[in-house]
Structure 1
Amino acid sequence: MDAMRAQQIVQSEDTIPVHLEGQSVWIEKVDTTNGMAAVHLEDNPNHKQTVPVDRLQEG
């Protein structure tokens, strides 16, 4: 995924599934300049991490 698509997902009113290494995640915010995204696991909102957006997969 690229940073612009990640930002579109964050701004969308729809729920768009996103995965990180096979785990469902929610994107909290996107740093489009550096290509990074703050995410948390869907089933564990306290487990937050910042990852490169190219590690995220839609669907």
Structure 2
Amino acid sequence: MNTMRAQEISESPVMANVTYDGTPVYIQKVDSDNNTARIYALDDPDNEVSVPLDQLVEQ
């Protein structure tokens, strides 16, 4: 996923269908300098991780 689209999704009030490694996730924050996003799995909101943007997939 590109940085611009990830940023749009993170700022949107509408929930987008995004996955990381096949798991549905919520994008908390995008770090455009490092091309990463702070995410959490929808079924595990207490476990936030930073992942490369290119590993996020919009369904």
TM-score normalized with structure 1 length: 0.94
Alignment of 1:1-59 (within 5 A): 1-59=1-59
Give, in angstroms, the shift of residue 46 of structure 1.
1.1
Ranges in structure 1 where 5+ consecutive residues have no aligned partner: none
Matched residue pairs, number?
Answer: 59
Q: Output the amino acid matched with 1:45.
A: P
Amino-acid identity (%): 39
Ranges in structure 2 where 5+ consecutive residues have no aligned partner: none
CA RMSD of aligned residues (A): 0.7
TM-score normalized with structure 2 length: 0.94
